[in-house]
Amino acid sequence: MMTIGHAKAVRRPRDVDQWRAGRLEYIGASEVAAILGLHKHEGPWTVAASKKGILPPWAGNDSMLRGTLHELANLEWFAQDNGLEVTQPKDTLIHPTVDRARCHLDGYVTDGGIVVEAKDSMGRMAREYRAAAEGQLSQLFAERSSVAGYWIQVQTQLAITGRDRGVLTARCDVSRIDVWIDRDDAWTTRILDAIQGFWARYVEGDDMPDPMAGDLRAVKRTYRGVEAGAVLALPDLRGAVEKLRALRAEMKALGTEKKALEARVLAAMGTAQRADIGEDIKPVKRIEIKEVTVPETVRKGYTRLSY
């Protein structure tokens, strides 16, 4: 097994079913954006539901299969362009103190200790990768871009291994874009804290996160291809729905109260534009200027100024 930074390593199962079963015991680097509520296609509810067995393991899709098949070629392209030697670790890497934080690396550059995450994406995503390469992360987070999620994935890998630098290398149709990523200690601390808190509350505990829009996409994706008319045992979301209804009612009541307060203030102030605020609102009478006489020396044709 390969030693990478301060991470512990265990052999990754070759059997796909065993590997999927093993993933139920930890939070992988690719799931961290979801538990933070920053993933476009799934949310914290999906991750918790999959770990608890509420949702079946997702078998992947054609895009994921294409990425897996092209991974080696993408790594070789990256290595050739950058003059680097890239190896492919076969182990599951574990953080030395946060056992539930684990990852798998697509590639690793021993000379320099660089973790490599390879992606195979559509050409339309090139703009997002270029924005990440130029440091425009706030824009990508605002858009809930998949590339922002990949950036968090690399930060998680850096947190687990203790390495200082990583790279997100992406093939977008006929072009390739490298996003070099330095470890951000504030982010790695946030990530490790989130993993521990999430596991204790939502996996070992009885709570479930509130569903987000990404969770709906994940549920639809999980059951795509199910025959029409099939009955699915979906999770009970009544608690979340009732909470949402209560919040909406509270917001409506607050809006009504706000309008009533505005009406009281306007009634007290009348047409005044200024007021002295003490124990009571005391309006100050507005002074209306009807006209102003301008001296002859500066009049220049104006006889009055109306306000």
Structure tokens at 164: 């200082």
- 140 CB neighbour count, 10 Å cutoff: 20
Q: What is the predicted pLDDT for the residue at 296?
A: 53
Q: What is the predicted pLDDT for the residue at 113?
A: 95
Structure tokens at 94: 């574990």
CATH number of 8-222: 3.90.320.10
Q: What is the predicted pLDDT for the residue at 292?
A: 47
Is 54 buried (19+), middle (13-18) or exposed (0-12) by CB count in 10 A?
middle
Q: Give domain limits for the chain.
A: 8-222, 238-299
215-227 burial: b if 16+ Cβ within 10 Å, else e: bebbbeebeeeee
Per-residue pLDDT of the chain (307 residues; tens, 9 = 90+): 788 999 999 988 888 778 778 889 999 999 999 999 998 888 999 999 999 988 876 665 566 666 566 788 899 999 999 999 999 999 999 999 999 999 999 999 999 999 999 998 877 889 999 999 999 999 899 888 999 999 999 999 999 999 999 999 999 877 899 999 999 999 999 999 999 999 999 999 999 998 887 777 777 766 655 555 555 555 565 666 677 677 878 888 888 888 888 888 877 776 555 555 555 555 544 544 455 454 554 444 444 443 3
| Kind and range of the H or E run holding 297 | helix 296-299
How, if at all, do strands 101-103 and 27-28 pair? parallel
- Strands of the sheet with 101-103, listed across from one edge: 8-11, 91-94, 101-103, 27-28
Q: How distant, in Å, are the alpha carbons of 130, 166, 243 from that of 179?
A: 8, 9, 41
Q: What is the predicted pLDDT for the residue at 120?
A: 87
Q: What is the predicted pLDDT for the residue at 301?
A: 45
Q: How distant, in Å, are the alpha carbons of 62, 109, 146, 171 from that of 66?
A: 6, 23, 17, 12
Question: In 3-state terms, what secondary structure has residue 46?
Answer: helix
As a whole number of angstroms, the distance between CA 129 and CA 125 comes to: 7
Residue 152: name the closest of 185, 187, 119 by CA.
Answer: 187
Instruction: Indicate the DSSP class of residue 206.
Output: S
